[in-house]
Amino acid sequence: MSRAVQAGETHRLVPSPAGRTHLVERGTGPLVLLVHGFPESWYSWRHQLAALAAAGYRAVAVDVRGYGRSSKPDGVAAYRMLELIEDNVAVVRALGEETAIIIGHDWGSGIAAGSALVRPEVFTAVGLLSVPYAPRGGPRPSEVFARMGGEEEFYVSYFQKPGRAEAEIEPDVRGWLAGFYAALSGDTMPVPGMPDPHFATRGGTLRERFPTGPLPFWLDQDDLDVYAGEFERTGMSAALNRYRNMDRDWEDLAPWDAAPIVQPSVFIGGALDASTTWMTDAIDAYPVTLPGLASSHLLDGCGHWIQQERAHEVNQILTGWLASLPA
């Protein structure tokens, strides 16, 4: 049985530009900040907290602003990347540290990359899970995503209009999350040739393409209760607002156009994850875009929820990489 609180974990609320950021802390040693993606919470790092603490690190998993027990500022623009980066800096400072290693998954990968890029004096190394680093550049993101769907609508475009995705999700948060997690998991995702759950028919919903069978092997009913309980309490708008700031981020990050991340880095992706299969060019560009890359890993048979689907492998890679970093 899974529990939202494990022995040895400390829950804290610390001041941040968001208002307050909720975090879960375990262990002592160099600070490792863990940043989740959509639609998750600090709980997605439950398997890493103990492993990193056992390896001699102070592992801290946050609820990103708008999620879980962290503050939920008003307004879509409050969820732009530069705001989230400053939340991370505030967490490091609130914990009495000057620097941290930052590791992110999904949107958290982008937030971790942005934090390392914009505040390199704070974030001295970066781990990226599932979503490869691709420097800012090219056309406005909304234009790119609008072209991706053809006769269908790409999920990022679907999420853009406030209230639209909420109307699909919030009447049955638990059921929607179960389907979304299954749709992107290596053991339950639709087989090749089936309609792609990353797209919706015009006027349709994403959920129409989600699997309706059993939960993924890594997600039991108690885990699902944790995630669903948080989103039933907070609603989905703040989490979805991350997608609604992609054009703002493109504008805000113009000073870092095409910039590499030079700190020590590691990448771990799932071989079955669309985030990696669609972004092979970004991975191929790592010698230029991530010159400090120690290693890049694609885990066979793994989908998108990598630190939960392959907790042991991810923990081994991360602790090995962390041990290799300069003291």
Torsion of CA 57, 82, 128, 16, to 10 degrees: 30
Q: How far is CA 159 from the centre of its chain?
A: 16
Cis peptide before 197 (omega within 30 of 0): no
- Given the structure tokens 């890359």, which residue do they identify? 293
Q: How far is CA 18 from the centre of its chain?
A: 18
Q: Annotated active-site positions, please?
A: 106, 304
